[in-house]
């Protein structure tokens, strides 16, 4: 009987091992063989978006809902005390405080976006689609009338209305967006006394010169008709107008009236956009996304 050379036996063994170690094609949905290493699918390229965590937090975090409920409930608990004090006003000198009189109808000024209406679905679209803010996209979203109430806002509105307090909606939505906005507010249950309670950006107030998106003139407009018990918003400019949007002036407005926070001024969390971001980049216009991100990183304080 002939003998197979040792070299041939070794070669055959190596070929058998190689055949056993070659991965078999996987059928979709079938489990991998024991011990088989399956390569992970390549990660989908997603552009960086500074708003990802902020929008996710607003839509999914229990902490966000707790904060908005807390703010609105604190405001509701203050209503009776504010109504009982005929000198009580939430307006600043130069923005209507001088016009406040005890006999005026009581009212609360509320911002709309991220204060009574939640626009996080619009923000989520931008994150998922990799798009930046455009006026035409915003106008289209407003026209959809899909915004839902911020948690706690509707309960406050009902409590105020039951006490004869009018809600005044001073918003930087434009005057052209009035019909769609009022329809959205009414559809989700907010009290709308009449179309005049909506005061949008671009409204002319006789004798008052507007500056940018300043809400001061609109506050003055309502001050001679309503005694403003409180203001509720998600930005410091929803309460008063700082001299500029620089951080020093924003700080001065807050520190000069910090006793009003939680009493006459009620702040809601609004991490997805706002004047704070512009202030952090020096209010520079026309920056690319990379340039804005670099300036925001430079504004951080790591304490090291």
Give the Cα separation of 42 and 229 in Å (integer). 57
Give the containing element (helix H, strand E) for 142.
helix 135-144
* The CATH number, out of the four listed (3.30.2270.10, 3.40.50.1000, 3.40.50.150, 3.30.565.10), of the domain defined by the range 52-271: 3.40.50.1000
pLDDT tens, 248-304? 999 999 999 999 999 999 999 999 999 999 999 999 999 988 899 999 999 999 999
Work out the average pLDDT over 91-116.
97
pLDDT of 170 > 90? The answer is yes
Q: Which residues contact 103 (CB under 8 A, 6 or more apart)?
A: none
pLDDT of 52 > 90? The answer is yes
Helix/strand/coil for 18: helix
Q: What is the pLDDT of residue 162?
A: 97
Beta strand pairing call for 117-118 and 148-149: antiparallel
How far, CA to CA in Å, does 265 sit from each of 60, 82, 159? 26, 12, 17
Residues 126 and 247: beta-carbon distance below 8 Å: no
Give the Cα separation of 143 and 184 in Å (integer). 9
**Global pTM?**
0.84
Q: Which two tokens stand for residue 67?
A: 């904060």
Q: What is the pLDDT of residue 153?
A: 98
Share of the chain above pLDDT 90, in %: 78
The burial class, CB within 10 Å (0-12 / 13-18 / 19+), for 152 is: buried
pLDDT of 30 > 70? The answer is no
Q: What is the pLDDT of residue 45?
A: 62
Give the Cα separation of 59 and 151 in Å (integer). 11
pLDDT of 19 > 90? The answer is no
The burial class, CB within 10 Å (0-12 / 13-18 / 19+), for 269 is: middle
- Burial 169-181, CB ≥16 within 10 A → b, else e: bbbbbbeebbebb
Work out the average pLDDT over 232-238.
97
Name which of 158, 228, 164, 159 is nearest 191 in CA terms: 158
Domain ranges of the chain: 52-271, 274-304
Work out the average pLDDT over 21-40.
44
Q: Among 170-174, 181-185, 206-210, 252-256, which is the least confidently predicted range? A: 206-210
């Amino acid at each position: 009987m002939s003998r197979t050379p040792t070299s041939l036996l070794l070669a055959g063994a190596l070929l058998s091992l190689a055949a056993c170690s070659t991965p078999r094609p996987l059928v979709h949905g079938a489990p991998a063989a024991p011990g088989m290493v399956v390569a992970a699918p390549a990660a989908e390229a997603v552009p960086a978006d500074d708003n990802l965590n902020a929008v996710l937090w607003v839509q999914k975090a229990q902490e966000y809902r707790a904060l908005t409920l807390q703010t609105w409930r604190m405001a509701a608990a203050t209503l009776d005390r504010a109504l009982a004090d005929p000198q009580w006003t939430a307006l600043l000198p130069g923005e209507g405080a001088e016009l406040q009189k005890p006999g005026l109808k009581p009212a609360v000024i509320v911002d709309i976006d991220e204060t009574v209406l939640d626009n996080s679905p619009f923000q989520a679209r931008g994150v998922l689609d990799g798009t930046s803010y455009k006026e035409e996209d915003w106008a289209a979203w407003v026209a959809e009338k899909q915004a839902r109430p911020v948690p706690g806002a509707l309960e406050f509105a009902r409590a105020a209305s039951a006490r004869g307090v009018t809600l005044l909606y001073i918003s930087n939505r434009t005057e052209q967006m009035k019909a769609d906005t009022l329809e959205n507010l009414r559809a989700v249950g907010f009290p709308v006394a009449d179309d005049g309670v909506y005061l949008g950006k671009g409204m002319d107030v006789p004798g008052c010169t507007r500056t940018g998106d300043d809400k001061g003139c609109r506050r003055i407009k309502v001050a001679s008709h309503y005694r403003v018990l409180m203001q509720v918003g998600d930005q410091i400019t929803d309460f008063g107008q700082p001299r500029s949007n620089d951080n020093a002036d924003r700080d001065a407005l807050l520190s000069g009236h910090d006793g009003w926070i939680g009493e006459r001024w009620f702040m809601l969390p609004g991490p997805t956009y706002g004047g704070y971001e512009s202030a952090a980049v020096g209010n520079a216009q026309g920056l690319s996304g990379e340039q804005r991100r670099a300036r925001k990183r430079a504004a951080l304080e790591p304490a090291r």
